[in-house]
């Protein structure tokens, strides 16, 4: 009943012209019946990519945003601006933003609430560092991140939400979580969501796995009961590899 979602996070890669080229390739080759496909280009390419994707199956996301509509916030982008650029989704709380740019659980919570106010679907990222996993604190960390990000949301909003479990040690390292490791954390997240927002919201919320997803490891990860899709970084930067991930068997 949960529709799979395969999302490409392009991070700080691609000029507008490069992004338009990749988006056009994906528009023509990444369609898969019953699967949602999404790309998150950098801000400067969003409008141009939106034009190329208009009327296609592909969804468009920002990689971050502020919670205010406008204001004196140099360097920030608002929910209104993402909507205006053609976005339907927004990635929030990516570990790179948490680790490198001081993103907090409280900020993620405010942003998630603001996203819904503007009819943007948030993709809330959570995940433990290697030190946290090795000291047996994975569930504690993930529980805190999920609980705080969802605190202000209604059950209906949580049902529409996307959560991405991205263990920090698996991002950009070539070392993906095993399907069993992913399933264990995804099932735990769903249980926590059930406790906080009820069983229907927990059954509906989609939980993506992210961290070194490649064409050759996607299938067994997607086969897990609580894995509803993938958030792909490096392997989303060429049509050849991203299309293979979308078309996993």
**Cα separation of 26 and 57, whole Å?**
10
Nearer CB in complex with ligand 13P: 82/235:
235
Annotation marks residue 94 as catalytic: yes
Does 168 bind ligand 13P (CB under 6 A)? Our answer is no
| CA geometry: angle 4, 249, 169, nearest 5 deg | 65
Which x/- pattern over 180-219 shows residues binding ligand 13P (rule: CB under 6 A)? ------------------------------xxxx------
Interior/surface letters 63-84, b for 16+ CB within 10 angstroms, e for the rest: bbbbbeeeeeeeeebbbebbbe
Least Cβ distance, residue 100 to ligand 13P (angstroms): 12
By DSSP bridging, strand 229-232 and strand 5-9 are parallel
Return the number of the residue (107 or 233) whose C-beta is nearest ligand 13P: 233
How far is the C-alpha of 138 from the C-alpha of 104, rounded, in Å?
Answer: 18
CB of 194 to ligand 13P, least distance (A): 25
Active-site residue, from 36, 128, 166, 186: 166
Query: At closest approach, how far in Å is the CB of 174 from ligand 13P?
Result: 8
Helix H or strand E encompassing 246: helix 239-246
Cβ at position 180, least distance to ligand 13P in Å: 19
Binding to ligand 13P (CB under 6 A): which residues in 53-92? none
**Active-site residue (options: 36, 66, 89, 94):** 94
Whether 38 and 154 have beta carbons less than 8 Å apart is answered as: no
Helix axes 179-197, 138-150, angle to 10 degrees: 40
Q: Tell me, by CB under 6 A, how many residues bind ligand 13P.
A: 14
Name the residues annotated as catalytic. 94, 166
What are the residues binding ligand 13P (CB under 6 A)? 9, 94, 166, 171-172, 210-213, 231-235
């Amino acid at each position: 009943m949960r529709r799979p979602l395969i999302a490409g996070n392009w991070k700080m890669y691609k000029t507008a012209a490069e992004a338009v080229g990749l988006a056009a390739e994906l528009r023509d080759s990444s369609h898969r019946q019953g699967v949602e496909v999404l790309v998150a280009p950098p801000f400067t390419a969003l409008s141009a990519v939106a034009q190329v994707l208009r009327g296609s199956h592909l969804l468009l996301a920002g990689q971050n945003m502020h919670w205010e509509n406008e204001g004196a916030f140099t360097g920030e982008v608002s929910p209104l601006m993402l909507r205006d650029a053609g976005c339907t989704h927004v990635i929030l709380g990516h570990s790179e933003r948490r680790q490198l740019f001081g993103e907090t659980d409280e900020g993620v919570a405010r942003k998630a609430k603001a996203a819904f106010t503007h009819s943007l679907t948030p993709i809330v990222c959570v995940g433990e560092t290697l030190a946290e996993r090795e000291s047996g604190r994975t569930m504690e960390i993930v529980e805190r991140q999920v609980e705080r990000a969802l605190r202000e949301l209604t059950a209906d909003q949580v049902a529409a939400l996307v959560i991405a479990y991205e263990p920090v040690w698996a991002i950009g390292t070539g070392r993906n979580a095993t399907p069993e490791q992913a399933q264990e954390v995804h099932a735990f997240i769903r249980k926590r969501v059930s406790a906080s927002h009820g069983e229907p919201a927990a059954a509906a919320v989609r939980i993506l796995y992210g961290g070194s997803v490649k064409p050759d490891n996607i299938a067994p990860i997607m086969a897990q009961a609580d894995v509803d899709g993938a958030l792909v970084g490096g392997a989303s930067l060429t049509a050849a590899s991203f299309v293979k991930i979308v078309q996993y068997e």
